[in-house]
Each structure stands twice: as structure tokens, then as C-alpha cells.
Structure 1
Amino acid sequence: MTYLLAIDCSITGEDSVSRPLVAEFSRAWLDAADGRQVRYRDLAADPVPHLTTAGLHYAPAMRRAHEVVDDAAAARQQELIDEVAGAHAVVIGAPMYNWSIPSTLKAWIDHLHVLGTTVPADGSTGVFHGIPVIVVSPRGLAYDNADPTAAGDYTVPPIEKVLGESMGMKVTSVVVDYTLATRMPPLAEHSGAADASLAAASAELARLASTL
């Protein structure tokens, strides 16, 4: 069965911007063709543990003697890898928290990035190569190339670096700017830009869903 893997990690509940957008994308992708399913993983409700040994970062043949990996940790990592490898596409809600990636999402990514397996040591194509990934990243301010604050985005670039450049996935990022405009009075002047950014993101996600 062809499936979309949908990942959420927002902790803001009903105030979340990323969760509704991930849900919108998932519904649009389901409706685009018959015989489709969505597999859903909520990293806020059911977090993946952080790596407890460097051994999980390497294929078994590359591990040093002291890098012992217990069976449960190895099985959990393999489950996460298989889930992504079997997906037709992946959509990730990746809100900016303190200019960076939510730690729960980082832990999930760390389980996927394995030198010698998902990142072949010989430079060959890995199991994730070519899988489309849509990253939905709301943020309180605006961080684009025309803005002097652009260098403050430590959310999307690291995801694109690891999933795209290192593991060969086909990453497309969709951002929503000024999500704090309704919460912080100094940003209220950007409420119009916030609404426009949200509408543009929603439209772009609908378009992307129709292409996958």
C-alpha cells in the first residue's frame, strides 16, 4: 500500500500552526489518488528517545568495541528507518523553537542518519535517496534571503542539510512567517503579513500534494 508518512512535533496544541498544515497536506495527498494511506507519528505525544550510544550513528560493521547497542534500541531504530524507506513521501511539521529544531524532531532525525547504512560510506545511493520530503516550518519572525535576520534560521537549513544533502532525500520547505504577530504586541504590525504567509503556505502545500 502506498503511504505518506506524516510527522508532527509541535507542543502548542490548539495554537499550533504546523499541525493543521500537515493535516491539510495529508488530506490533499489522500484525495489525489485511490489506494493511499497516511501513517502518522506524533513526536510530541510519543517522543523518540535521544541516542544513548554513538553506536546507533554507525552501521554495525563500523562500530567500535565499546559502542554497544542493545537489542531494543536497535529494533526501534530499524523500525523508524523502515517506516521512512517504505514511504512514498514524507511531510514534517517543523516549527522553529528558539531559532532551532524541536529536540524531539532532532532525536528522530538522529535515528535515521546512520553512517554506513542510510548514508553509505562508499558514496553509493542510500535507501532514502529520492524520497520527497515536505518540511512545514512556522516561525515567529521572518527569515528569508532578503531579510537581515535570514542567518537566524537554524531550523530549515539543518533539516535540508541532513535529509537532503547527506541522505539524498528530495526536500521542499514551506515556511509560515510572523506566527507571533497575534501574541506579541511589538509584532502586531506584521499581522497582515502573517495572514498572507499562512495563506500562501496552505496554497503551496495543496499544490505540492497534487504533484506527489
Structure 2
Amino acid sequence: MSQVLVIESSARQQDSVSRQLTAEFVRQWQAAHPQDRVQLRDLAREPVPHLDADLLGGWMTPAEQQSPAEQAALQRSERLTAELLTADVLVLAAPMYNFAIPSTLKAWLDHVLRAGVTFKYTDKGAQGLLQGKRAFVLTARGGVYAGSAMDHQEPYLRQALGFIGIHDVQFVHAEGLNLGGEFAQQGLLKARQRLAELAPAA
């Protein structure tokens, strides 16, 4: 039995394509892996604060010297990191906002990319500590950006996940959604076809 952690980051609840893709992925995954447990964290409903002095203090200040705010920030980071550590499969759902990921997803990453916990520094450089995990990234994009210099989603997420040891990463892009007509229909159809291939085979 595997633990699947799903991270939603779309600011929209209704009419969100990334949420539609997530729902389809989870249905297909559970049909293929009925014993697996799925945990959902919705960063729009429960936003994670951005990196601030309290969180930095919680990480860097000895426990007996931490302020209440630093303790609370550290506990939040510990909780989010524990969810990631216990997951076997990570699903990130992200619309493209201004060529990149939502700031809420960046804030989540800032809480879980932690030296000594999810990666460590060695004399040969940084080493990820989360080997053996898999990730699926489901994106929704108004235009067509895959493989172009304007795509700052996939390269960043590949680097961030690889930095903590997650190298088995599959991307599913629903592109051209704001171009209307055939472009939007084909973009969504291709994404759904890719989902149908990935979830049962994973």
C-alpha cells in the first residue's frame, strides 16, 4: 500500500482545469491501486504563509530561545514536511500564473525544502534525501509553452524536486486553454489521454 500526497494550488475552486485533472488522476489511481491512501492538501483553502523571519528563526534558533511565533512556524513546517516524508507518491496540481507556479505552491516548497531533513550538504554538494519517491505534476496553461523559454514551471519544479531526491517526475500539461475552440479542446484532450496512460500503469 502506498501513500499518495496531492497538493492543489489553483486559486479557483470552480472551473479550475488543474483541479479537474487532479480529480481524474485520483479516480484513475484509486481504480488501479484501491489499497493506496490519498491525502489532499489544498493550498487555496488553507494557504501556507510565505517564508518569513519567524520560519527562519524556527529553523535556526535553539528550541529554548525560540519565540512563540518561531515555534508555531517551525511546527507548521514540521507538519508539512512530515506529510511529504511519509508519501510514496507526490501529485502537484498547478495552473500557470505569469509563466510560473502559484505563489502558494512556492510557499509550500519553501517549507519542505529543508537542509538536514529533505536534503543535506556534503563535500560533493547538496544531496537529496527523498530517494524512491515518484511525482506527477499536472499543469493548466492558457497558452502553449512546453519546451519554450517562457516555461518556468517545469524546469523549476524538476530542479526543486530533484534537489530533494525526487527524480522520477512525470508532467502532464493541459495547454492552449485560453486560445479557444480547437486549441483548448485538443489541449485538454491530450492531457486527459496522458493521465489515462500514467495512473493505471504507475
Fold conserved between structures, TM > 0.5: yes
- Which residue does the alignment assign to 1:207? 197
Contact kept, 8 Å, 1:137 with 1:156, in 2: the verdict is: no
Instruction: Say which of 160, 163, 179 aligns to 1:162.
Output: 160
Classify the secondary structure of the residue corresponding to 2:14.
helix
CA change 1:58–1:200 in 2 (3 A) is farther
Distance 1:78 1:110 in 2: 12
> 1:70-115, CA deviations, whole angstroms, 9 ceiling, x for partnerless residues?
2111111111111011112011111100111101010001111112
Compared with structure 1, are the counterparts of its residues 120 and 114 closer, same or farther at alpha carbon in structure 2 (3 Å cutoff)? same
The 5 Å alignment of 1:170-189 reads: 170-182=168-180
Q: How many residues align?
A: 196
Aligned CA distance change for structure 1 residues 54 and 131 (closer, same or farther; 3 Å): farther
Deviations 1:102-130 (A, max 9, x none): 01010001111112321111257544223
**Contact 1:57–1:114 under 8 Å retained in 2:** no
2:118 counterpart residue number: 118
Give the drift of 1:144. Answer: 2.8
Q: Secondary structure at the match of 1:70?
A: helix
- Whole-angstrom CA distance in 1 between matches of 2:116 and 2:185: 44
Change (3 A) 1:126 1:157: closer
Please tell me the residue identity of whatever aligns with 2:88.
H
Report the aligned-residue RMSD: 2.5
Q: Deviations over 1:114-162 (max 9, x none)?
A: 12321111257544223111111111110133xxxx1111122111111
The residue aligned with 1:34 is 34
Q: In 1, Cα distance between the equivalents of 2:58 and 2:101?
A: 22
Q: Would the aligned equivalents of 1:59 and 1:117 in 2 still touch at CA under 8 Å?
A: no
Q: Secondary structure at the match of 2:149?
A: helix
The AA in structure 1 aligned to 2:139 is: S
Letter in 2 for 1:131: K
Q: Secondary structure of the equivalent of 1:51?
A: coil
Question: Where does the alignment leave 5 or more consecutive residues of structure 1 unmatched?
Answer: 183-190
Structure holding more strand per residue = 2
Using the alignment, how far apart are the partners of 1:13 and 1:70 within structure 2? Answer: 31
Q: Name the residue aligned to 1:22.
A: 22
CA distance in 1 between partners of 2:151 and 2:126 (Å): 30
Does residue 9 in structure 1 map to residue 6 in structure 2?
no
Change (3 A) 1:110 1:50: same
Between the aligned partners of 2:172 and 2:106, the Cα distance in structure 1 is 18
4+ runs of 1 displaced by more than 6 Å? 66-69
> Per the alignment, in what secondary structure is the counterpart of residue 189 of structure 2?
helix
Does the alignment pair 1:196 with 2:198?
no
Q: CA deviation at 1:37?
A: 1.8
Task: Check conservation: 2:137, 2:172, Cα contact below 8 A.
Answer: yes
Identical columns (%): 37
Instruction: Write the letter of the residue equivalent to 1:168.
Output: G
